[in-house]
Structure 1
Amino acid sequence: MIINMKMQLYIIAAMSENHVIGLNNSLPWHLPDEWTHFRKVTAGKAFMMGRKSFEAPDALHSEYRNVIITAHPPAQAEPHVEYAKDISEAIALLSDETDVFILGGASIFQQMLPLAQRMYLTIIHAQVEGDAYFPAFDPNDWHLASSEFHDTDDAHAYSFSMNLYVRKQPE
């Protein structure tokens, strides 16, 4: 797999303390301020995700460009949507982009984790039930560049931290 040197791959996800990212193809929480953060960070950027993540009822789509990884693309694509059969093809389709956000699901995160330069990873401060999990990663490979804590309030049942991790350069 060849990645153009100007392309930066960023994982963006929210997970519970027990690494849950989904339940029945939806998020197991509702955090409006986290969604606002997501929109601000990803505005005008290209997204890469698996088909189930794209079709999730609470999925966010790029108004600019979405590349969906699936073995069974529909006959007619929606506006701003392209399909790729695997990650290599998705990266090739996005080769002219400088910033690409990887939105999941679990298997896409697993495959893209070694290639990502940054992770915008929100940690939900709770143990929740789910059926999709963010992959384990070595924290020694990452530098926590920033963290913003958000407490519970009337609109947020869980407290959470919006973290930015930057991959450490090899020494």
Structure 2
Amino acid sequence: MKITLVAAMDEHRLIGNHGILPWPFLPNDHAHVERLIAGKKTIMGRKSYDTPDRIWSKAGNIVVTSQPNYQVDPGFLVMNSIEEALDYYKNEEEVMVLGGAQIYSETLPKAHVLELTLIHGQFKGDAYFPEFSTDVFDLIHRQDHPQDDKHSVAYSFLTYQRR
């Protein structure tokens, strides 16, 4: 199984601020993530599930939480650990990890691909994508997008692959 981490982050790896995105909504990024996860199973933490910016796949989704009896919408399953979620998806070709910070930290050592949106700028927040080394991951694709009338900040789509 290929594990792909999908995240948007600013220039300091910031990914969240009290459960929401720290930057204004970027429609092209949202559409990009929807394309990446289409037809694939996803894993996310409870905080990512609870965010108003939540994104999910019609193919299936797991919410990882230690909260007992946590209730989720149809199309979602609850599991108590990343290991349990990955075992449940063990026969999938690719699994998409959608965050948050703790889930990314736990899955980064197992990840094959990082699909990152780099938001150009620095914002205030409290959740960060873990550090990763370019000795381990190679940048294999970059697509830059300028600020425009629908996107108040410039951003880049980056794809890293484990060596």
TM (norm. structure 2) is 0.95
Q: Is structure 2 residue 51 aligned with structure 1 residue 56?
A: yes
Shift of the 158–77 alpha-carbon distance from structure 1 to 2, 3 Å rule, reads closer
- State how many pairs are aligned: 162
8 Å Cα contact 1:73/1:83 also seen in 2: no
SS of residue paired to 2:156:
strand
C-alpha separation between the residues in 1 aligned to 2:78 and 2:128? 24
Amino acid at match of 1:24: H
Q: 1:12 aligns to what?
A: 6
Unpaired stretches in structure 1, ≥5 consecutive residues: 1-6
Q: Mapping of 1:41-120 within 5 angstroms?
A: 41-74=36-69, 77-120=72-115
Distance in 1, Cα, partners of 2:41 & 2:115: 15
Residue type matched to 2:136 in 1?
D
Fraction of identical pairs, as percent? 38
CA–CA distance in 1 between the matches of 2:70 and 2:126? 30
Distance 1:77 1:146 in 2: 35
Task: Report the equivalent of 1:158.
Answer: 153
1: CA distance between counterparts of 2:71 and 2:146? 43
SS state at 1:36 partner: helix
| Structure 2 residue 126 is matched with structure 1 residue 131 | yes
Are the aligned partners of 1:28 and 1:130 in contact in 2 as well (CA < 8 Å)? yes
In the TM superposition, what is the alpha-carbon distance from 1:77 to its structure 2 partner?
Answer: 4.5
Q: Alpha-carbon deviation of 1:75?
A: 6.1
TM-score under structure 1 length normalisation: 0.91
Please list the CA deviations of residues 108-130 of structure 1 after superposition, one character each: whole Å capped at 9, or x if unmatched: 10111010000001111101111
3-state SS of 1:140 partner? coil
Displacement of 1:92 after TM fit?
1.2
- Partners of 2:20 and 2:60 in 1: CA distance: 22
Please, which runs of 5 or more residues in structure 2 have no aligned partner? none
Counterpart of 2:17, as a letter, is: L
Q: Deviations over 1:84-120 (max 9, x none)?
A: 1111111111112111000111011011101000000
Which 4+ stretches in 1 moved above 3 angstroms? 73-77
1:14 & 1:75 partners in 2: Cα distance?
A: 26
Structure 2 CA distance, aligned partners of 1:71 and 1:141?
31
Range moving further from structure 2, 155-164 or 65-74: 65-74
Q: Cα offset for 1:155?
A: 0.9
